[in-house]
Amino acid sequence: MAYELLRRRVVHVPRRFGIWLLFLVWVIIGVFVVQVVAPGAVMAGGMTRYLTWGFRLLWYIQATVILLYVGNLRREVSVDRVCRVMGWMFITIVFGGLLGVLAPRAIFPSLLEVLLPNHIAHIPFVAAQVHPNLAELQNADYGPASSRPSAPFPYANVWGLNYACFLPFFVAGWMGRGAGRRRYFGVCVMAVSVVPVIYSLNRGLWGALGALLVFAAIRSAMAGRLKLITFALCALTLTAVVLFVTPLGAQVENRFTNSQNSNDVRVQLTELGFAGMSETSPIVGFGTTRSVQSSFGSIAVGSTANCPLCTPPALGTQGHLLLVSFAQGWGGVALYYAFLGMIFLRYIRLKSPPATAALSVILIHVLTSPVYSADNLAILAIFCAVAVLWREALVAEEAGSRHSIPVAEPSLGGYSRFLRRHAVAILVPTVLAVVGAASWSLGEGSPSVATISVLIPPEPVYPGGDPWTRTLDTEAQFAYSAPVLEAMSRVAARPVAADDSGLSVTAIPNSRILNLSYQSMSPTTASAVVSAAAQSMLDSRNEYLRARQTRAFDGIDARSAAVNAALGTVDDEGTALDHFADYDVRSSRRALLKQTQYGLLASIAEIENQREQLSSTQLVGGRVLGPARVVVVTGPRTVRLASGLGLGLLVGLGVALLRELRGRRLSSSGRAAADLDVPVVNDMPSATRPEWLPATYLSVDDEFISCDAAARMGDGPVSDTGVQRIVLVCSDEANSVRARVTRDRLKAAGADVIGVSMCRT
């Protein structure tokens, strides 16, 4: 598709396309901040972050190519064909969902997964893209179903969003007026799709379908198409019957009533993502998503074979709104949703079925963006919808302006010429902003973070002691104890409070290793403070273990004393039996005392054995795993530079746009050639200015006279190919904006503007 666009002399774009181009630039700026540490995320990123950033950039570029391809190839690709092709994808989604319902646990590798190196194929983000799953396995907390259909996508939520985005195209292409026999097949597909829609347990999908029906009903009522309203009512009735007479109704009820759902984790991830982005990098975001540090329940919990969902999803994946804001900041959010919002509002008046379908796709994306992240296919559907709206608007404009010169369409070349005309106005604010951000960063310096790892072995289990073992989360509280804070204060030479110690404690998932980190402007101070904190923490734990061992000894001594006292009582009773007269009674009681005595002696032996074990137990509070690792934090500096680049670019583009709207005089031949992008074929002084009159068929004023310089003909000269060849005659006092508007209108009318003739005043 990109090759086909490159072959075209002019590539047209929809209006307000510059906002989308600026968003792409914002995504590219994000490459500078992919290694910045986000609050609540792991510090180590590696090169995989660049991979995920590039992958999502490729999504947006693919969507741009789809938009331009569908919008420019109007003769080769009709709108009906676009809807039919997109409908095939909907059919694939439906039957993939059915396979997920019938065989949810089927496992098989894809060809790409086999070909990729293991260290790349096992990256979670890459694995989700290349490893095929028929269903997403869930915990039993989700209800009777332990799986949710997702094929051909990795996640059930992605399946739901793509179902909703491709559904309007399927209805328009396979169930519209020109569908023919495809309409009967379309009705069957729609009926079958109810099963995976319900088993997917997608509350967002159910809400989106409800909003889609309401939107379609309102549009149909306004257009007078009562058949669509009847179809919507029939669909609702059929769905209600299926829910009532089949077990699927229990699935829906359980999904809404079960308290063990994903709401809490979603809210926590969303709050952490928005708060971290707003505090650290509000303008350009973090470039891509981040893995969460541990989980919300424990600092050491991670995914295992018995609990594959114990690790929470990455920051920035809980909805497309959070993805754009976390990766591109509030600047990216404003650009992304401004483009889609302007497209939706500009074409909301279009009434054709393809336009209604396209508007529905954009509406679904905006409504579900707080909960659903759009993957590459969903984004392609969204921007294909933008292209369909653009095409339908052109058809409406041509039908309403057959007897006047149409307004020229913008093109990529027009944006390129805009950048060339105002290169200085754009570059100067950008460079100044970057230099200012760099100067600010150099003046403040860069902090250093020292991290030290500490192995915390499990506590020894004493006979008769505490039956439970302290978790690593409890052990981590030693890092905030009074002795640790005092040690940090001595090394840092400042008071350190528990609520503002600057010490952060994390853990390696599924291990007994704690990571202690401390930040300071001095790398030496950071290393010394975190080392002192680690040693003091181990000393505190050793004291705790010794105290616990002492309590265990005290318990053993108490039990030993009690047993010895009982043994003494038995001996006293045995002595008393010697004076008992009845031999039979004396014998039976003596046997009972002997049995009791043997039991007490066995208890004494067991107690002494426990005492020996307790004495031989080595108390190890833990050990430090190597010296502190010091890393210079360049995050704040990088964020300032990237934010300065983005803000400077915005200011420069604003200045350029103001200059463009204001225009300037075509005071010289060179300026006229640069502004109009055509050669100057003649430069006439005021004394020889011809008395040319405007051509009425061009609808231009007397300042812009269009005719051929050699032959003044009423309809303009026509070339051998039947194209009007026109020289634009302008005064040197003419406004460049008005001149470009006239040139574009002439080109839109089919004329070939071959040059400009300057007239001196």
User: Helices 48-72 and 376-400 meet at what angle, rounded to 10?
Assistant: 20
Is 76 a residue whose pLDDT tops 70?
Answer: yes
Asked if residue 543 is part of any domain, the answer here is: yes
**Contact (CB, 8 A) for 422 and 659:** yes
Nearest to 55 by CA among 160, 164, 110, 130: 130
Q: How confident is residue 214, by pLDDT bands cut at 50, 70 and 90?
A: confident
| 643 in the same domain as 562 | no
Which of 21-25, 44-48, 246-250, 289-293 has the highest mean predicted lDDT (pLDDT)?
A: 21-25
Over residues 216-221, the mean pLDDT reads: 79
Asked if residue 308 is part of any domain, the answer here is: no
Coil, helix or strand at residue 585: helix
pLDDT of the residue at 721: 53
Q: How confident is the model over 671-706, as pLDDT tens digits?
A: 777 777 778 777 766 544 444 433 333 333 333 444
| 565 in the same domain as 506 | yes
Asked if residue 47 is part of any domain, the answer here is: yes
Nearest to 293 by CA among 311, 307, 271, 267: 311
Q: How confident is residue 585, by pLDDT bands cut at 50, 70 and 90?
A: low
**Based on the structure, what is the number of domains in the chain?**
4
The neighbour count for residue 550, using CB atoms within 10 Å, is: 10
Over residues 647-655, the mean pLDDT reads: 94
Asked if residue 298 is part of any domain, the answer here is: no
The neighbour count for residue 597, using CB atoms within 10 Å, is: 16
Is 85 a residue whose pLDDT tops 60?
Answer: yes
pLDDT of the residue at 60: 94
Is 596 a residue whose pLDDT tops 70?
Answer: yes
| 427 in the same domain as 414 | no
Pick 77 or 590 by higher pLDDT: 77
| 651 in the same domain as 608 | no
Q: Six-digit token pair at 102?
A: 């019938």
pLDDT of the residue at 704: 40
| 417 in the same domain as 427 | no
The helix or strand, by DSSP H or E, that contains position 613, with its residue range, turns out to be helix 583-616
The neighbour count for residue 6, using CB atoms within 10 Å, is: 8
pLDDT of the residue at 10: 85
Coil, helix or strand at residue 563: helix
- Residue carrying structure tokens 């010394």: 528
Q: How confident is the model over 621-649, as pLDDT tens digits?
A: 888 888 988 887 777 888 999 999 999 99
Nearest to 143 by CA among 249, 253, 254, 248: 254
Q: How confident is the model over 535-576, as pLDDT tens digits?
A: 999 998 888 888 888 888 888 888 888 888 888 887 777 777
pLDDT of the residue at 168: 93
Question: Terminal CA-to-CA distance of the chain, rounded, Å?
Answer: 49
pLDDT of the residue at 309: 57
pLDDT of the residue at 340: 95
User: Helices 635-662 and 736-748 meet at what angle, rounded to 10?
Assistant: 80
Asked if residue 349 is part of any domain, the answer here is: yes
Q: How confident is residue 31, by pLDDT bands cut at 50, 70 and 90?
A: very high
| 37 in the same domain as 181 | yes
Asked if residue 350 is part of any domain, the answer here is: yes
pLDDT of the residue at 48: 82
Pick 254 or 510 by higher pLDDT: 510
pLDDT of the residue at 344: 94
**Contact (CB, 8 A) for 161 and 382:** no
Say what percent of the chain tops pLDDT 70. Answer: 79
| 207 in the same domain as 128 | yes
| 592 in the same domain as 538 | yes
pLDDT of the residue at 442: 75
Distance CA 667, CA 731 (A): 8
Q: How confident is the model over 278-334, as pLDDT tens digits?
A: 998 999 999 998 888 766 566 666 655 555 556 677 888 888 999 999 999 999 999
Beta strands in 309-350 (DSSP E): none
| 639 in the same domain as 588 | no
Distance CA 311, CA 303 (A): 5
Distances (CA, A) of 539 to 12, 482, 532, 536, 652: 71, 12, 10, 5, 59
| 146 in the same domain as 211 | yes
- Domain membership of residue 245 as a residue range: 2-256+263-293+313-421
Is 714 a residue whose pLDDT tops 50?
Answer: no
Q: The domain that contains 568 carries what CATH number? A: 3.30.1890
| 474 in the same domain as 503 | yes
Q: How confident is the model over 427-485, as pLDDT tens digits?
A: 999 999 999 988 887 767 678 888 899 998 888 777 655 555 677 778 888 888 888 88
Asked if residue 42 is part of any domain, the answer here is: yes
Asked if residue 576 is part of any domain, the answer here is: yes
Nearest to 56 by CA among 31, 20, 93, 89: 31
Q: How confident is residue 219, by pLDDT bands cut at 50, 70 and 90?
A: confident
Q: What is the dihedral of CA 113, 114, 115, 118, to 10 degrees?
A: 80
| 746 in the same domain as 687 | yes
Could you tell me the pTM of the whole model? 0.78
Q: How confident is the model over 145-197, as pLDDT tens digits?
A: 467 888 888 888 889 999 999 999 999 888 877 777 888 888 889 888 888 88
pLDDT of the residue at 330: 95
Q: Six-digit token pair at 337?
A: 């949703």
